[in-house]
Structure 1
């Protein structure tokens, strides 16, 4: 894999290429921190439940852009592994709430730890000033991306997702995980 380079004052197209390359490299690094016994689809389901505890199957299916039957089968496999649980709603016994189990939470915590160890190994090799610049850039990126996801902004050329003027300070982003889920 060739790492894409860009000039000192990059335009969004150049940054998009470099970011795409970085995401691909992250996938390779994170591949070293195996997601077994969960597939990529199952991992996505676990992340959604982590952020939306107690949702129903229909909402989960919509979040996965899948059908309720396919989502139910995916959920069943994770339930058999002990990663998720179903519980009846106290308000309406017909409503089933879906939750991440303690084992599922432990799996995600362990997976994140292994992934972060892979990242630390790379970051330790970077000069401190470059790490600082990366952190500032990623913080700004996360703030705008989270706002775009939250607001449902669409379109590659839309400026409406910009929450701060270019070059303005961006406050620290909390609660945004590497999963990209709000």
Structure 2
């Protein structure tokens, strides 16, 4: 059931294209949104990637205007990564398009089933958040 639900969400969300960013770049934006000002090594660890690969991802995101690099005020050798206002606007638009696609499906469900789904999703989010270092259950952090 979970794989079918995941596949259906991919189909629905596939209609809300992530262009001009790739799936890997989108993950970077989500991480930066919730961990503003992290350094490249921490981001690479979060992605289970290498710093050179992560740096290239950030190079492309910076060229697109979605990411900004700022020299750390405490160590000039360290660069901090921030999502730009353009990156935030992109994520907001992507979430709105994905939400619209989901709303079409939810509107076709009976009210009692929507309520049950909401309760189940809240429990799922709490359990999933407990698996992510730095996120507390019920913290309200969102990803698309």
* TM-score category of the 2 structures, normalised to the smaller one: over 0.9
Tell me the equivalent position of 1:19: 2
Give aligned pairs, total.
Answer: 142
Cα 1:25–1:103, aligned 2, differ >3 Å: closer, same or farther?
Answer: same
Q: 4+ residue stretches of structure 1 with deviation over 3 A?
A: none
Q: Does 1:177 align with 2:138?
A: no
Tell me the equivalent position of 1:51: 34
Tell me the equivalent position of 2:63: 80
Q: Which has the higher contact order (CA 8 A, sep 6+)?
A: 2
Deviation at 1:178, TM superposition (A): 3.8
Which structure would you say has the larger Rg? 1
Tell me, in whole angstroms, the C-alpha distance in 1 between the residues paired with 2:130 and 2:63: 36
Q: Does 1:93 align with 2:58?
A: no
Using the size of structure 1 for normalisation, the TM-score is 0.75
Using the size of structure 2 for normalisation, the TM-score is 0.93
Q: How does 1:21-170 map to 2 (within 5 A)?
A: 21-150=4-133
Please list the CA deviations of residues 151-172 of structure 1 after superposition, one character each: whole Å capped at 9, or x if unmatched. 8xxxxxxxxxxxxxxxxxxxx9
Query: Which structure's residues are more often helix, by fraction?
Result: 2
The DSSP-based 3-state class of the residue aligned with 1:92 is: coil
Runs (5+) with no aligned partner, structure 1: 1-17, 152-171
CA RMSD of aligned residues (A): 1.5
Runs (5+) with no aligned partner, structure 2: none
